[in-house]
Structures are given as structure tokens and as C-alpha cells.
Structure 1
Amino acid sequence: MKISAYLFLLLTSLFWQPAFAAESTAIKILQQDRGRDYGLMVGELIHHHYIISTDSEYTLTTASLPIEGELNYWLDLHSVELKSTEKQNRTIYRLSLVYQSFYAPLDVRALTIPAITLDFLTSQEQRVSLTLDEWTFTMSPIKEITPSGVGNSDGVDHFMKPSIQPHRLKLKPIETRLIILCSLLLLCLLFYVALSGWLPRLNRSPFLQAKRQIKALSKQDLKQTEHYQACLQALHQAINQRAGQTIFFSRLDTFLNTHPAFQTLDKPLRNFFTQSEASFFFAATPEPSYIKDCIRLCHQLADADKVSLKS
């Protein structure tokens, strides 16, 4: 029996010695990072990272990796991520494990994440194991056991911490930009209204009104003589409105003497009245250029009218 026992020990040492030698030299943990082991709260994620180096002949058995899911009533394995790279004649494994603890302690408690055994195989089916040690950490409660202070009641409200005050957003920069944009919009609107002649105080000249009427008529199909005569009539009405009476060609000199600001437009006005008499009294067909002349004359009369109003 003694001889048999010695032979058994001898054979066992012969077969198991290479395996232990391989584990110590061929497979090793280069780096591990398991974060802080104190002050963890319920529901907090726990990240463990390992960098393992092996000879190229050893391959990690994926079946030995832990399975995601519930490990016990208070600990879940949230995710398992494994990456490998070849470097010279070695294989570098990067293993990331994410745990989540749902233990809600009433006081500071020490908990342990169990150890993990990883298996590596060679092409000759030689198995070598590597153990990731268990990890102990402490969890802290989210509420105090007894109310702070002396003489407080034992109500539930005294156990809870006060709520976090809501964060106030700084709206001053937004208000400033909004005021600037609204001001610019208002200025643009006023500028547009002024150009359109919708502000009576900024547009007291009847010649601008006549100019808008003539432009509106010029956009139509001016094939009929009545359309041209309507453009001429709009300017006549503006001159009559400024003079306060009906102005014919024979009264043009009186109008210019009464309103000296228009004397610089003596020639264009005479040309206009000449064209108007030819159209209304002699049935002459106006040319399209007459419309442009009327618009130009309205603009000149409006500028001169501003000078007369200021004076």
C-alpha cells in the first residue's frame, strides 16, 4: 500500500507540474482596476477592468465567462465585454465587467462580489485556470437610522433628507437677445411701413400716393388708352390736392409761383401737361415711356414737397 501511494503521488506530480508552471508564466494579470470599494449606494454601477496577458498558444474559453443577469438577490451582472489583440507572441485580453448592486443597507455594510475562474485551453486540450479574486466593498445607506438632533419626534419625515432645490436657469442672456431681436424686428417693420407710405406723418405728400397708384397700374396689361389716362389722372389729382384747386396748363405758372419749391421742376411739369392734353383732348395714344416719366416726376415732386413742408 505504501508503494502504491508513493507511485500515485509521483504520477500526480508528473502530470500536474506543467500545468502549474504554465499558469504562473504563460498567463498573468497585467493590470486590474475595480474602482473604489467604499461609499457605494443602492443601484450604483460597479466597473471592473482587467488586462490579462497569455502566450499565443492559450485561448480563453468564452464558456468560462460569467453570464449576464442576476447573480443573487442583491447583485446583477449588467454587462460583460471582452476584447483581444495580438502582440508579438502573446495575446492581450481586455475584460470589462459591470455590476449593479440593489442592496439597500440601513447602515454601512461590507459586501463581496464572488471570485471568477477563467479557463484557457491550448491546441493539445491542456486546460489552465486563472482566478479573479473576490472583491469586498462597503455600501452606505441613503437615509439615517435616527433623526438628527435631540428631542425630535420619530416620524417618518425626520428620517428623510431634504429635497434638492431646483436649479434656476439664468434667463438674462436669453431675455437680452430676445429684446434685441424684437427691437430689430420692430425697426424693420416700421421701415417697411414708412417705405410703403402707410404712416401718415411720414408720408404727407400726395405725390407718393400717386406714385403708388401709377406703379400698381403699370403692373397691369397697359394695352388700352384708359389705363394710361388713369396714370396721368393720378398725378393730376396729386397736383390738385397740393394746390387746393384744379390746375390746368394755363394755371401752371400760378401754381409754381404759389409753391416755389416746385419751380425747379418747371420743364418736367410742362412736358407732363403737354402729354396729358394730347391724350385727353386730342385722343393721342400715349407711349409706354410716359408711365416711367410720370413715376419719375412723382418722385421729384415728393422730394420737393418735403422741402416745402419743412419750410
Structure 2
Amino acid sequence: MSVRPRLIVGLFGVIATLSISSAVVAQPRPAIGLSIDEPRAYGHVVGDHIQRTLRLQLPDGFQLERASLPSVGAQSYWLELAVVDIRAAASSAGPVVVRLDYQLFYAPLQATRRELPALDLAAANAAGERITRRVPAFAFTMSPILELDPDAGFGDPDNDLLLADAMPVRPAVAGPRRATFVGLAITLFALLIWVWAAGYLSASARGPFARARVSLRRQRRAHEPPEVAKALRTVHRAFDETAGQAVFADDLDAFIAAHPVFADLVDDIGAFFDFSRRYFFAGAAPADGDNHALIDRLERLVQGCRKRELKA
């Protein structure tokens, strides 16, 4: 082989050796690993939220530049970025998850193609080395809320796809109203009968024994134990008001003669006056020492007198 061919072969050998050496020595350039969870690409309407989830695998020593992410707010007249959520991995080898939540503000009249914008993400290390990764745009279709007939105008009777609002149906209330009125009338009538039977409608219902009965009940609730002296005076006052003068035990026959309606209670009335005289003038106490039992007997006496009072 001549000198010149040998020189050419040698030169090629040197070039091949240098190429292999550089390939072995050269280190791969660090890059950002990217995987994307995309939403569905169809059927979105105005007001919907669309989320893109970016999982970034950053090389060792690199950190995501947050300034490379889009800012929250309006991205265009039909698109707004509502949330940018960044969740760093617990370890340096884990992925960085970025959630982008978009909201749609556009109501197309027919299905329309739209795109979420592309992004250029960047990461840098402490040495100032900077790498980037492009996130492609996401295309999807938006659908109209109402299907329109292009040959019919809005409100046109021929446009049967846009129906008028249905008028609300008034509930039938005549029956329940009538039943309510009848029930109230029956209740009022029954109440009036009870009031009449109890004697509250008559003038005598406001008589002395009616007031004495109310007073005894109030005393029972207000005092524990009830005051015997006050209860006895209350009953005495009822007899005095009925007679128009003070009534004592010696006046009982005259009282019955003037008010014969109480004649059948003469024994009970006499027992009352006898006990009252002994209580106030001889210091006698109730036989069983129970004030409640005495008040019960007084209430029964007053109730009996009240019934006769109603008949007077």
C-alpha cells in the first residue's frame, strides 16, 4: 500500500477513536421528566372546572422555578386559572406534583374547539445551571348548554327546542282551608260550651266563692306549707261578701235562712266556723298536723259553695 492510502486510513482511525472517546466521556444533559393527567377532551360547558396534573421528575440538585408557572387569574376572555397547587415530594428523588385548576367562562352556540395554553417549565440548581421542559397545550371541545335551531329565531314558535317557561301550578288549598275553618269553629264552640258549663259566663261566676277558690289555689302554690290563717280568712271573706256583713258561727242559722241555696252544706259550713273559732281563739291546729289536708277540705267546701252560688 502506498503512503497516501495509509495516511488516509490512519486519519480515519484517529477520527473514529476520538468520536468513541468523546461518546464515552460525555455525560447526558439533565432533563425534567414529565407525565400529565389530562381531563376528558369533550363535553365541557360554561362554568366547568378542568384540571391538569403535572408530575415532574427533577434531576438531583434541581428545584422547580415557580416563576415559570402561570399566575392565578384570567388567562383569556373565556379562561381563568383558579388554583395552582404545588406539592413537593417528601424525598429529593420523588416527583413534584403541580395541579392546575382552570374554569371556563364561555358559552358557545355550537361545539367549539378550545385549548389550555402550553407551558414552559424551568428548573435550576445551585450552580446556576438551568433546564426547561415544555408542557404541550391541551385541546378539548366545549358544548353549548342549549341546542339552537339556526333556522329559527329566539322566541320563534317554530323553534321548539326553546320552550317557554312552564307556569307554576297553584296548589288546591280550598279543601284544607275549609277543613281548617271547620276545625277552628268546632274547637271554639266546644270551648264556649265548657266555659258556660263551668259557669264562667254568668255574673255569679265572679262571686265571692269563685274568687275564694282562685285565691286558695294561688296560696297553695305560693307558700309551702300553706298558711292556715290566711286560708281561713279567705273563706270567711267569701261568706261575709255573700251575706253583705260579717258572719260568725252564731249567725249561721240566719245566713242559711237568707241564703237557702247553701242549706245542704250547713254541717260542713258549721264545722268550718267551729274549727276557725278554735284555731284563732284557742290555738287549735289541724287534727292531723297537715296544712295541705286542711286546705284540701277548705277547697272542697268553697267548691261546693260556688256550685250553689251559681244556682242562686
Shared fold (TM-score, shorter chain, > 0.5): yes
What percentage of aligned pairs have identical amino acids?
Answer: 21
Secondary structure of residue in 1 paired with 2:211: helix
Judge conservation of contact 2:262–2:305 (CA < 8 Å) in 1: no
Higher-Rg structure is: 2
1:18 and 2:28 aligned = yes
1:260-271 map, 5 Å: 260-261=264-265, 263-264=267-268, 266-271=270-275
1:152-231 → structure 2 map (5 Å cutoff): 154-158=152-156, 161-162=162-163, 199-200=200-201, 204=205, 206-213=208-215, 231=234
- Counterpart residue identity of residue 301, structure 1: L
Separation of aligned partners in 2, 1:66 and 1:15: 38
User: TM-score if structure 1 supplies the norm length?
Assistant: 0.57
1:142 maps to what in 2? 145
SS in 2 for 1:52: strand
Q: 2:237 aligns with which of 228, 234, 238?
A: 234
CA displacement, residues 236-266 of structure 1 (integer Å, 9 cap, x when unaligned): 246649xxx9854235368499543563564
Task: Tell me what 1:63 maps to.
Answer: 67
User: Cα 1:43–1:53, aligned 2, differ >3 Å: closer, same or farther?
Assistant: same
| Superposition TM-score, scaled by structure 2 size | 0.56
User: What is the alpha-carbon distance in structure 2 between the residues aligned to residue 101 and residue 301 of structure 1?
Assistant: 86
- Structure 1 residues 124, 167: closer, same or farther in 2, change over 3 A? farther
Q: Is 2:132 the partner of 1:129?
A: yes
Contact in 1 for aligned 2:213/2:299 (Cα 8 Å) = yes
- Other-structure match for 2:3: none
Provide the alpha-carbon RMSD of the alignment. Answer: 5.6
Residue 122 of structure 2 corresponds to residue 112 of structure 1: no
Shift in Å at residue 96 of structure 1? 1.8
Tell me which of 38, 49, 52 is aligned to 2:53. Answer: 49
The total of aligned residue pairs comes to 255
Contact map agreement 1:35 1:46 (CA 8 A) in 2: yes
The answer on 1:103 being equivalent to 2:106 is: yes
Alignment gaps of 5+ in structure 2: 1-15, 223-229, 282-290
Q: For structure 1, which runs of at least 5 residues remain unmatched after alignment?
A: 1-5, 149-153, 220-226, 279-290
Asked if 2 retains the 8 angstrom alpha-carbon contact of 1:39 and 1:140, the reply is yes
Q: Quick one: distance in 1 between partners of 2:303 and 2:262?
A: 17
- CA distance in 2 between partners of 1:236 and 1:102 (Å): 90
- The alpha-carbon distance between structure 1 residues 143 and 83, as it changes in their structure 2 partners (threshold 3 A), is same
